[in-house]
Amino acid sequence: MLSNFSFHHVGYATKSIEKTSKVFQELGYTISDTSFDTLQHVKIALLKKKDSPQIELVEMIDETSPVSKILEKNGVTTYHVCYEVQDIELAIAELRKQKFVLLFNPVVAVALDNRLICYLFHKDVGLIELLQK
Ligand code: NI
């Protein structure tokens, strides 16, 4: 099912990009500038390290942030995997056939070069994010 999807990043929910990134930086990651995503109501930073999957830190701004419930339940945790796709609408249609539910229509993500993203949920898989190439 994921043959045309390429891994892009794993997403962490955090209450503090500063505190979480400090630990990753000690592990050899470099951090991008933090962006403020008004649509998703979160702050976002990306962590990179040679030969390692990219990590996205998603910080809640307040209780209305989509990650606030995840943080309340689990504390800092990974919560989504993002795949890059050639055609986001086609990929959504493909995942819907596999019983994924689209959480919202694609929106522009400031932290990811203003490319389109969306999230889908599957009860046996959890959250997947799609990123338009
Ligand atoms: Ni993400």
CA 52–ligand 1 middle distance (angstroms):
16
CA 129–ligand 1 middle distance (angstroms):
6
User: Which residues are CB-neighbours of 105 under 8 A, at least 6 positions away?
Assistant: 118
> What is the pairing mode between strands 42-48 and 115-122?
unpaired
- CA 68 from chain centre, in angstroms, equals 14
CA 72–ligand 1 middle distance (angstroms):
19
CA 97–ligand 1 middle distance (angstroms):
22
> What is the pairing mode between strands 77-85 and 126-132?
parallel
Q: For residue range 59-93, list pLDDT tens digits in order.
A: 999 888 889 999 999 999 999 999 999 999 999 99
Higher-pLDDT residue of 39 and 109 is 109
CA 81–ligand 1 middle distance (angstroms):
7
Residue 107 · residue 118 · CB < 8 Å = yes
Q: For residue range 6-53, list pLDDT tens digits in order.
A: 999 999 999 999 999 999 999 999 999 999 988 888 999 999 999 999
Round to whole Å and give the CA distance between 80 and 119. 9
- CA 125 from chain centre, in angstroms, equals 15
Domains defined along the chain, listed by start: 2-132 (3.10.180.10)
